[in-house]
Amino acid sequence: MSSNIFRLFTTIFLLSLVTISLCKATNDPEPQYIDRITPLVNLTEINFDDHVVNINLGPWFVMFYAPWCSHSKAATPAFLQLAKKLHGEVNVAIVDCEANNYLKRRFGVSSYPTFIYYANNTMYEYKGERSVNSWLNFVNEGYKNVEPEEIPMKASTLREVTKEVRKVYRQFMHAVTNYPLFVLGVFGFIILMTYISFSCTQWANEKLGVNQDQKPQTAQKTEETKPLKENADTKKKQ
């Protein structure tokens, strides 16, 4: 019995996390800059298509990087300068491939950093020198000399949900293995609050039912006493 209850709450917990994760996508895709000074957008698996595939926001020049990669670290200062120079003309963004492995696989990123220019639902990979001037030349005219590629379709919602469930499940099992007391305390708290909520609701319903039952009885007694009062008044007058 206890194992079945544990599985039930585990399932509810996982589905809740997945729902919250999927609901993070915004319906109003505005570029979310890293800060007010640097016009550099941080793209993730959640907001990538809403930003890059949305042609209303204009073209994008994206750097796919890994936090531990020395070449990525070396290219970052120049890439920040590029973002400032292209602000208002071309959107400049970064993608952390360690945190967004799906985007890494989707666009076939095999080395860091990888630079891809997106325009009119088409992508162009940049393989030149990592400098501001070279990047400027590429996004202005140079990309036309590169063979264009179609942007890979986004995975189906079912695949996304399956992936998120597996990811959350791994994280949950990691927490259970390493922090069993904490997880047990969380589930205990959830069960306690559920029991308290159920008890309070049941108590309120019972109280409400008792009050409703008492009102008709009071009204009935009032109706029964009216003829007695009328008879008493009649006798007095006689």
Specify the pLDDT at position 26: 41
Q: What is the CATH number of domain 29-156?
A: 3.40.30.10
Specify the pLDDT at position 145: 93
Domain locations in the chain as residue ranges: 29-156, 179-238
From first to last of the 238 residues of the chain, give the pLDDT tens digit. Answer: 445 555 555 555 555 555 555 444 444 445 555 555 568 999 999 899 989 988 788 999 999 999 999 999 999 999 999 999 999 899 999 999 999 999 999 999 999 999 999 998 899 999 999 999 999 999 999 999 999 999 988 765 556 667 667 777 787 787 778 878 777 787 788 888 888 888 888 887 777 765 655 555 555 555 555 555 555 555 555 5
Burial readout 163-173 (b: 16 or more C-beta within 10 A, e: otherwise): ebbeebeeeee
- Residue 11: exposed, middle, or buried by beta-carbon count in 10 A (0-12, 13-18, 19+)? exposed
Specify the pLDDT at position 205: 79
Specify the pLDDT at position 112: 95
